[in-house]
Structure 1
């Protein structure tokens, strides 16, 4: 079993910003992965109640030209 206190696996995260740390956290969450898979299929057709904000995700909109 891996030692969670071993600093070696975490060294690459030293220079990562907050968004990077949150992405590492989210991408390992099985509930998020399931939601993303479902939402990706659903958003191709139309929006569902599966809102990305429940995961704390925020997307920038491109400014109107």
Structure 2
């Protein structure tokens, strides 16, 4: 499998044709601070509401419906 450096312009050729949510994910998956924040929040058994609110506001995420049976 050929691997393209994510910093190379050719790695973003598809960005013009993906929906906004896909574009946002491309940004977030490369952001070290997002990964750190996600690890913190995902390791909490039941994170406080304020912590979730801060996380979602910082990263522009919305969670309109919470899962009923989270794994």
TM-score tier by shorter-chain length is 0.5 to 0.7
Instruction: Tell me, yes or no, if the aligned pair for 2:41 and 2:47 is still in contact at 8 Å.
Output: no
Aligned partner of 1:37 in structure 2 is 39
Gaps of 5+ in 2: 67-71
> Which runs of no fewer than 5 residues in structure 1 stay unpaired?
none
What is the TM-score of this pair, normalised by structure 1? 0.67
Runs of 4 or more consecutive aligned structure 1 residues displaced over 3 Å after TM superposition: none
Q: Distance in 2 between matches of 1:9 and 1:54?
A: 26
The 5-angstrom pairing of residues 17-56 of structure 1 reads 17-42=19-44, 44-47=45-48, 49=51, 51=54, 52-56=56-60
For 1:10 and 1:54, the matched residues in 2 are separated by 24
Q: How many residues align?
A: 58
Aligned residues: CA RMSD = 2.4
The structure showing larger relative contact order (alpha-carbon pairs under 8 Å, at least 6 residues apart) is: 1
